[in-house]
Amino acid sequence: MNGPWVEKYRPQKLEDVVGQQHIVDLLENYVNEKSMPNLMFTGPAGVGKTTTALALVKSILGEYWHQNFLELNASDARGIETVRTKIKNFCRLKPVGAPFRIIFLDEVDNMTKDAQHALRREMEMYTRTASFILSCNYSSRIIDPIQSRCAIFRFSPIKGSEIAKRLEYITKEENYDYDIAAIDNIVYFAEGDMRKAVNILQASASAGDKITEEKVYDVVSKAKPQDIKDMITKALSGDFMGSRDLLRETMVLQGTSGEDMVTQIYQDVTKRAMEDKMDSEVYIHLIEAIAQTDFRIREGANPRIQLESLLTKFL
């Protein structure tokens, strides 16, 4: 195993960033003009904010980007004094071999308001020599005076089809075989988060040479579709205790959550109805019961009891 794939497959160039075309196009203009305002990247986790910032820095600063670049991560100490001292020390020096210097602060929404105010004063102080790139999950958590000093770029979750394409590319590079269904499932579980998708892919791959749906289910702790199917078949045939045993086993052994169980039961029942293996009248009644269970679990009711009660409706 050669390190995490999320790092190995982090795009190095702006044009290789997946799914943020609109943003990349605008940033390319800054690269062409060799100048940029302060920027703020906002959006959910794992969609390319840090990646884009680094790629932009490299292409706008050129060969000597490293000497002209300061990165302050969320894991670094970022109290007011640290921010001031580090930024001051960095900005005092003139840019070498590049038009200006860039300071990148990741996850600014985790900085206290006081530290944000200190940051704002530094941003004002060094407008001539340095530009800032700030990244955050929620721009609403950033003080207004910082927001108004930045061009704001809103990153969106990455489309399923684009995640699938990327996963297939990585799989081929790594010489793994895969089932299409495995990729589809990863895309489904990742919910637009590319980091999560690549991490699930790698975890599913380490167990063998082919990436299968089964392996993905193991990694994300969802129930195996076959187990759900058996459980429902038992309940439909009147074997409540047998079906209840399967329910408990799945939840304990796989660690599947109540919400996921309901969704998977819904998927199985729907498949039966679509394939004409279940009477539509029965299906309609079951959907009603599934919807109720789903609602109750989300409202905080005990998932095991709710799911067992749902199984009684199948009898």
Ligand X SMILES: Nc1ncnc2c1ncn2[C@@H]1O[C@H](COP(=O)(O)OP(=O)(O)O)[C@@H](O)[C@H]1O
Q: Which of 134/297 has CB closer to ligand X?
A: 134
User: Residue 186 binds what, of ligand X, Mg ion, none (CB under 5 to 8 Å, by partner type)?
Assistant: none
Instruction: At 252, list the tokens.
Output: 């304990």
Q: Which of 134/182 has CB closer to Mg ion?
A: 134
Beta-carbon contacts of residue 42 (< 8 Å; ≥ 6 apart): 49, 135, 136, 137, 138, 139, 152, 153, 154, 155
Give DSSP secondary structure letters for 21-36: HHHHHHHHHHHHHT--
27 in contact with ligand X (CB under 6 A)? no
Beta-strand relationship, 210-211 and 101-105? unpaired
**What are the DSSP E strand ranges found in 111-251?**
130-136, 150-154, 177-178, 210-211
Rounded to a whole number of angstroms, the minimum distance from the CB of residue 22 to Mg ion is 19
194 in contact with ligand X (CB under 6 A)? yes
- Part of the chain binding ligand X (CB under 6 A), chosen from 42-50, 73-81, 208-216, 234-242: 42-50
- Part of the chain binding ligand X (CB under 6 A), chosen from 43-51, 97-105, 182-190, 305-313: 43-51
50 in contact with Mg ion (CB under 5 A)? yes
Rounded to a whole number of angstroms, the minimum distance from the CB of residue 279 to ligand X is 46
φ and ψ at 208, to 5 degrees? 175, -165
Rounded to a whole number of angstroms, the minimum distance from the CB of residue 33 to ligand X is 23
Neighbours of 117 (CB within 10 A): 14
Query: Is 87 within 8 Å of 122 (Cβ atoms)?
Result: yes
Q: Looking at 14, 39, 46, 55, which residue binds ligand X (CB under 6 A)?
A: 46
Rounded to a whole number of angstroms, the minimum distance from the CB of residue 21 to Mg ion is 19
| CA–CA dist 61, 48 (Å, integer) | 20
Rounded to a whole number of angstroms, the minimum distance from the CB of residue 177 to ligand X is 22
20 in contact with Mg ion (CB under 5 A)? no
Give the count of residues interacting with ligand X (CB under 6 A).
21
| CA–CA dist 69, 278 (Å, integer) | 63
Instruction: At 275, list the tokens.
Output: 């394939």
Q: Which of 107/122 has CB closer to ligand X?
A: 107
51 in contact with Mg ion (CB under 5 A)? no
Residue nearest to Mg ion (CB): 50
Q: Looking at 26, 45, 151, 291, which residue binds ligand X (CB under 6 A)?
A: 45
Rounded to the nearest angstrom, the gap between the alpha carbon of residue 258 and the centroid of all alpha carbons in its chain is 22
Q: Which of 49/101 has CB closer to Mg ion?
A: 49
| CA–CA dist 106, 54 (Å, integer) | 11
Beta-carbon contacts of residue 233 (< 8 Å; ≥ 6 apart): none
Rounded to a whole number of angstroms, the minimum distance from the CB of residue 262 to Mg ion is 32
- Part of the chain binding Mg ion (CB under 5 A), chosen from 26-34, 43-51, 56-64, 208-216: 43-51
- For ligand X, the binding residues (CB under 6 A) are 6-7, 9-11, 17-20, 45-51, 158, 166, 194-195, 198
